[in-house]
């Protein structure tokens, strides 16, 4: 069971009283087993973890590392691997837990490497990671010196994977909450840095999402945005008529210039495009830990520069900007 009191105390210090009043009931609702048929099964997996202790915790390496192989017996390692695989699919990582290497669908460390030298150092900062998945980047943010990291993600399997990793790690000022950004109260203005990576293109109203992100930031705070883009000029946007790379929930893919103009219109300052990279089948792929279809199955067999629907293949931009 996670003790959320340190989180409440930090949010109170950041004058986020309105959210602290809401959070206990939000968490109770999200973790209500009658609302999700598999939740109790996942919770049982976490509760039945072997009691493990370690002094090895490395949060600033490509793989988030907790424990060493020789910290547990072969039998306990086999049991732990079985429990980890009970929470399949693992999409964000990689992790190395007591010698077990979790080769996740995404090489999320590659994204971190693209942005880590461009952001304001996270030392002593209160950080929000919107759409954080299982919290891989939250651990990397903690490894970069953050005072506290709060991740939000509405998908309970992601939250359960985080809780398993956190139990192996031990108490830490890192939390992943089963919420969406729309669950945060208006006027929060609590965080020094807000990340939104891989979320904007899933929002029906990208402008509203940008305004929500800005609303979470303290004055002068920094936003780190990563999203799908297209090649094109100012004003150009792709709105898929149907699916995009077999995904139903992809809405707006702007050009980088268009995206930066959106940020300016939303009141952001000091807007910098720091990276544009086409997603490769080496960065996103099926593995032993994510055995479902992945990027290569979503691209055209004749032309990998196109999706299977004939649209431009996934390309992602990273933009950093500041709240006024």
pLDDT tens for each residue of 59-112: 999 999 999 999 999 999 999 999 999 999 999 999 999 999 999 999 999 999
Per-position DSSP letters for 123-175, written without gaps between them: TT-EEEEET-TTSHHHHHHHHTT-SEEEEE-S-HHHHHHHHHHHHHH-S-SEE
Under the banding of pLDDT at 50, 70 and 90, the label for residue 51 is: confident
Token pair of 73 as six digits = 């017996």
> CA 160 to CA 197: how far, in whole Å?
20
In percent, the amount of the chain with pLDDT more than 70 equals: 100
CB 146 within 8 A of CB 29: no
Q: Tally Cβ neighbours within 10 Å of residue 292.
A: 10
- Scan for tokens 């593995």, then name that residue: 287
Using the predicted structure, report yes or no on whether residue 44 has a pLDDT greater than 90.
Answer: yes
Using the predicted structure, report yes or no on whether residue 208 has a pLDDT greater than 90.
Answer: yes
The β-bridge relationship of strands 217-228 and 315-323 is: antiparallel
> CA 119 to CA 321: how far, in whole Å?
10
**Helical H runs in 31-117?**
39-47, 74-85, 108-115
Token pair of 83 as six digits = 């429990």
Check whether the bond before 94 is cis (ω within 30° of 0). yes
Q: Tally Cβ neighbours within 10 Å of residue 272.
A: 11
Environment class of 263 (CB within 10 Å of its CB; exposed 0-12, middle 13-18, buried 19+): buried
Q: Which of 265, 319, 323 is nearest to 119 (CA)?
A: 319
> CA 62 to CA 140: how far, in whole Å?
9
Domains in the chain: ranges and CATH: 5-323 (3.40.50.150)
This prediction's pTM: 0.97
> CA 166 to CA 289: how far, in whole Å?
19
Mean pLDDT of the chain: 97
Q: What is the pLDDT of residues 134-167, one digit of tens each?
A: 999 999 999 999 999 999 999 999 999 999 999 9
> CA 221 to CA 77: how far, in whole Å?
43
CA distances from 295 to 107, 277, 290 (A): 12, 15, 12
The β-bridge relationship of strands 148-152 and 174-177 is: parallel
Mean pLDDT of 292-317: 98
Range 104-109 contact pairs with CB under 8 angstroms and sequence separation of 24 or more: 104/136, 104/287, 104/289, 104/290, 105/284, 105/285, 105/286, 105/287, 105/289, 105/290, 105/294, 106/283, 106/284, 107/282, 107/283, 107/284, 108/133, 108/136, 108/137, 109/62, 109/63, 109/140
> CA 71 to CA 233: how far, in whole Å?
55
């Amino acid at each position: 069971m996670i003790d959320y009191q340190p989180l409440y105390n930090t949010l109170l210090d950041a004058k986020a009283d309105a959210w602290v009043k809401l959070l206990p009931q939000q968490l109770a609702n999200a973790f209500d087993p009658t609302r999700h048929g598999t939740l109790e099964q996942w919770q049982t997996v976490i509760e039945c973890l072997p009691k493990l202790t370690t002094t090895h915790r490395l949060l600033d390496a490509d793989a988030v590392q907790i424990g060493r192989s020789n910290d547990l017996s072969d039998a306990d390692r086999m049991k732990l691997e079985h429990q980890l695989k009970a929470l399949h699919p693992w999409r964000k990582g990689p992790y190395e837990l007591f010698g077990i290497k979790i080769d996740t669908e995404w090489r999320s460390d590659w994204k971190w490497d693209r942005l880590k030298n461009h952001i304001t150092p996270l030392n002593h900062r209160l950080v929000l990671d919107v759409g954080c998945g299982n919290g891989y980047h939250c651990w990397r943010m903690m490894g970069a010196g953050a005072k506290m990291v709060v991740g939000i993600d509405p998908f309970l399997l992601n939250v359960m994977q985080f809780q398993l990793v956190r139990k192996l790690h031990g108490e830490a000022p890192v939390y992943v909450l089963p919420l969406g950004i729309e669950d945060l109260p208006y006027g929060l203005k609590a965080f020094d840095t807000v990340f939104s990576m891989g979320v904007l293109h899933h929002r029906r109203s990208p402008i509203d999402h940008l305004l929500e992100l800005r609303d979470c930031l303290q004055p002068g705070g920094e936003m780190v945005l990563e999203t799908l883009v297209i090649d094109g000029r100012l004003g150009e946007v792709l709105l898929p008529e149907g699916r995009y790379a077999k995904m139903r929930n992809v809405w707006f893919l702007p050009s980088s210039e268009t995206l930066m103009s959106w940020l300016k219109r939303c009141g952001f300052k000091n807007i910098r495009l720091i990276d544009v990279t086409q997603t490769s089948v080496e960065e996103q792929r099926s593995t032993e830990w994510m055995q479902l279809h992945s990027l290569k199955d979503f691209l055209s067999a004749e032309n990998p520069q196109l999706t299977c629907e004939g649209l431009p293949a996934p390309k992602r931009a990273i933009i950093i900007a500041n709240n006024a």
